[in-house]
Structure 1
Amino acid sequence: MHVGALLAPFYFTWGAFKCFLAMYFITGCLGITLSYHRQLSHKSFRTPKWLEYVLAYCGVLAVQGDPLEWASSHRHHHQHTDTPKDPHTPYEGFWWSHMGWLLDNEATIERVGDRSNAQEMAAQPFYRFMEKTYMWHILASAVALFAIGGMPWLVWGFCVRTVWVYHITWAVNSVSHCWGSQEFNTGDLSRNNWPIGILAFGEGWHNNHHAFEFSARHGLRWWQIDMTWMMICLLKFLRLADKVKLPKEAQMERMRFEPTRA
């Protein structure tokens, strides 16, 4: 995928760039952050099943694994954050937390191979089907982009976009566990990092997320831009989302670091 992305300068067109932006939103925001992360991994809101599956399919197109695999692995991360059982802690180095863990299949499977923490998903035929046929959907999406826009759309809408969403997603695990601020005492390395907060559609408010992993909203301050939360608000307005979970003010006060006294 990275090799394909290197062809970008030779196939640039404004139409291909618009395809890149559209697919970045569809797979990154709707697929990974809205569906895979906030809905499937943390159950922070509920939608009708048809919409849940449509959003999950957007996540499949991000080429980060099938929904069951992704959600289960992420739940392992929260259960063992920044411990030896965490699949991608910066305690093992920045490179490891960013993408090294994906290149060491044996070590990663040892930590996240148990899918029993996502039994409610495994019980649904849709997610079992996605698990078994995952790569065919990736191939079909690449063929469709090529059929519509030729090599420019394949390079920009598939390769460049996939690599871009890869590194934005991985930066939440690496950058947002190394640099930024901590408002809440979570006992781990999670940080609020504003560039990642913007690029990852709100996921960079990572200390907030680790403090209240059930929360549908990660940007808990008015100035913490959280596009995924905006999408959830839109779905709620359209009556397509309910059971939206948010932390109470008392919960936030208990978790905040106490101010330093002179």
Structure 2
Amino acid sequence: RPAGVPPRPSLPRRVVVHAASSRRGSSSSGGRLPPRRGRTSEKPGRSTRAIVEETVMYVEGGEAPAPESEANTEANTSTSYSKLYDRLMSSGPLRMHRQVPKPSKEAQMKEENAYKLWLSDVAVTVKRKYFFGRKFMVRDLAVFALVSSMHLGLLWAPATFSWGNLGLCMLLYFVTGCIGITFGYHRMIAHKSFVVPKWLEYAAAYCGALSIQGDPMEWASTHRYHHLHTDTPKDPHSTYEGAWWSHAGWFLDNEMTLSRTEDHTNAKDMMAQPFYRFMQKTYSWHILLSMGLLYAFGGLPALIWGGCVRTCIVWHITWSINSFCHIYGRQEYDTRDLSKNNWLFGLLAWGEGWHNNHHAFEYSARHGLKWWQFDLTWIIIRSLQFVGLAKKVKLPTEAAKAKLAFE
């Protein structure tokens, strides 16, 4: 926390308030619109459609129920990440549903074996060997083979280039990256920032599966743990363990990752749905089918550009949100973690780069909270809301933003 900034106040009780915009020319005071009775010849146009938003508002006078914790946060603000990690890892299996205190960035900076990342204020301590002198599990080798084969495919990209193949790559980059990951996996499924009809939810989730980042349930569960334990030793990909670890090293170390993400009971809402159970059981077949279709319709060039090139682009942009956006950028809200707003990935990742905004208000369907923070995914959500396909869209109020703002 920057000098002179008071400690973050405890969050008051959260309530959900529904508000509807009135029709143009009406004298509505902002409550719900009365239901129509009988037939009418009036056809509401785009400018007169009543859009219902669900806004999260913090109301003075009540305390939010605190998550189950293993220690008092304020009593441990002087603990470095390294010491907190050593203590937790030596005390038996991690209890992932219990929170631990946030480590002190200043204390971590003073750790003897820590080093500062280039041009940043983040000091890291490498806790696991990345490649040499470590034990590899079968899944580690399988994931490494998959990632390596996709990157090796890039060697054929120059020889198979055409504008048509580049267009195919960009189209699938949007479908799997924006619609699949950002819109589907992240804001809709993991955070429940809005609700759409089931056919649209499942279609977006299927697009996310084609990004080859795991089945929907696995992805959402892991991401929910990331937010519950951001930049603590229970975070699946904390930057305090190194830039490479938070970028890609974490999922190449199955032993450590399973200790943090194997329990999917934080995704019971998805376990109850046959579609997500089906995707979990048959996930690999959908990837093979998609690659087979690319080859069948466009041969090797389509497989290289629509498969390898596109997948690597989506991978590294997604992974960079976990790494670069916890190292480089600006913090506008006191989130007590390393999340930062990064304009470059705000553009490349369809609005996901406004990462400090997201960690401050993880429920928000909109990440670019200021007019100049471009967020294409929010534009898509807002458009779907306008035509009635997206409902219960969650946004932070100005009062909620003011509570966490540094300035």
TM > 0.5: yes
Matched, 1:126 2:240: no
Distance (whole Å) between structure 1 residues aligned to residue 387 and residue 355 of structure 2 = 28
Match of 2:387 among 220, 238, 256: 238
Match of 2:221 among 57, 66, 72: 72
1:27-74 deviations in Å (ceiling 9; x for gaps):
000000000000000000000011100000000110000000000000
Match of 1:150 among 293, 299, 304: 299
1:6 deviates by 2.2
1:83-123 deviations in Å (ceiling 9; x for gaps):
00001111000000000001101100100111000001011
Distance (whole Å) between structure 1 residues aligned to residue 373 and residue 297 of structure 2 = 37
SS of 1:186's equivalent in the other structure is coil
Letter in 1 for 2:195: R
Matched, 1:52 2:201: yes
Match of 1:177 among 308, 311, 326: 326
Distance (whole Å) between structure 2 residues aligned to residue 63 and residue 121 of structure 1 = 19
Match of 1:203 among 339, 348, 352: 352
Partner of 1:86: 235
Distance (whole Å) between structure 2 residues aligned to residue 7 and residue 127 of structure 1 = 35
SS of 1:143's equivalent in the other structure is helix
TM-score (norm 2): 0.63
Partner of 2:377: 228
Distance (whole Å) between structure 2 residues aligned to residue 71 and residue 127 of structure 1 = 11
Distance (whole Å) between structure 1 residues aligned to residue 155 and residue 384 of structure 2 = 37
Paired residue total:
258
1:201-235 deviations in Å (ceiling 9; x for gaps):
00000000000000000000000000100110111
**Range with bigger deviation, 147-156 or 33-42:** 147-156
1:139-165 deviations in Å (ceiling 9; x for gaps):
110111111111111000011100110
SS of 1:246's equivalent in the other structure is strand
SS of 1:47's equivalent in the other structure is coil
Match of 2:339 among 171, 190, 200: 190
Distance (whole Å) between structure 1 residues aligned to residue 174 and residue 188 of structure 2 = 17
1:3 deviates by 1.1
Distance (whole Å) between structure 2 residues aligned to residue 238 and residue 107 of structure 1 = 45
Identity of paired residues, percent? 62
Distance (whole Å) between structure 2 residues aligned to residue 225 and residue 163 of structure 1 = 23
Matched, 1:103 2:257: no
SS of 1:221's equivalent in the other structure is coil
Unpaired stretches in structure 1, ≥5 consecutive residues: none
Letter in 2 for 1:84: P
TM-score (norm 1): 0.98
Partner of 2:94: none
Letter in 1 for 2:306: G
Matched, 1:212 2:350: no
SS of 1:23's equivalent in the other structure is helix
Letter in 2 for 1:103: L
Higher relative contact order (CA 8 A, sep 6+): 1
CA RMSD of aligned residues (A): 0.6
Distance (whole Å) between structure 2 residues aligned to residue 7 and residue 114 of structure 1 = 40
Larger Rg: 2
Which is richer in helix?
1
Letter in 2 for 1:225: F
Partner of 2:14: none
1:5 deviates by 2.1
